[in-house]
Amino acid sequence: MNITSFSILLSTAFTLGLVHTLIGPDHYLPFILLAKARNWKLRKTLWITFICGIGHVLSSVVIGMIGIAAGIAVAKLEGIESARGNIASWILIAFGFIYGIWGLYVGIKRKRHIHPHIHLNGSEHVHEHSHEGEHTHLHITKKDITIWTLFIIFVLGPCEPLIPLVMYPAVHYDWLGIAVVTLVFGGITIITMMTLVGLASYGLLKLRLDFLNRFVHALAGGIIALSGLAIKFLGL
């Protein structure tokens, strides 16, 4: 493979990595919304995004390498990636739906109400409170199930454009070319994910949404489910 062809391939890998991340809401919305709902610090949010991004890219790399070693045609590998994408989108939809239902329960439990108090001297006053914090949180300690769920979703979620990109240098047995193309595509994908998540999460940390706080988990779950539906039925 000559320098001109390789340069075009790298430019294509960079462009596809950027575009496929930008147009895929599943690459950033779950992290942004869950960070707000679960009060993750920015550093934690970016770290989770990075780990999920690594899993997202490496899973497709592994399948691509197996396909190259076994001599599987690109069309068959793309079929495998498509099947993985269907599974990942349904898991994302289910996760968003379940999380949203739980968030709705939390929101209802947080409804403020008034208790009257009558003292022995005859004086009376009212006390307003909510049951926020009374078992409206998930009892999860070190291992947060939402993080593991996100990781599994991203491992199953394919990098569809990566397979044909790595197959081109593969037919020339150019293993260095395969590695460089993978690094460029994977690098720009993860950097774009972290940039979008970081900017949006930082903005939400500064934004006061007191009127939405009661149902923030329900909103997060609903939007995550909608992003999964968009991927499944709109091909985003």
Residues 119, 178: Cα–Cα separation, whole Å? 79
Region 112-122: what's the mean pLDDT? 51
For helices 216-234 and 74-109, give the axis angle rounded to 10 degrees. Answer: 160
pLDDT at 50 over 60: yes
Confidence tier at 111 by pLDDT (50, 70, 90): low
Confidence tier at 171 by pLDDT (50, 70, 90): low
Query: Which residues lie across from 115 on neighbouring strands?
Result: 127
What is the per-residue pLDDT for 8? 84
Cα dihedral sign, 82-77-177-172: negative
What is residue 126's three-state secondary structure? strand
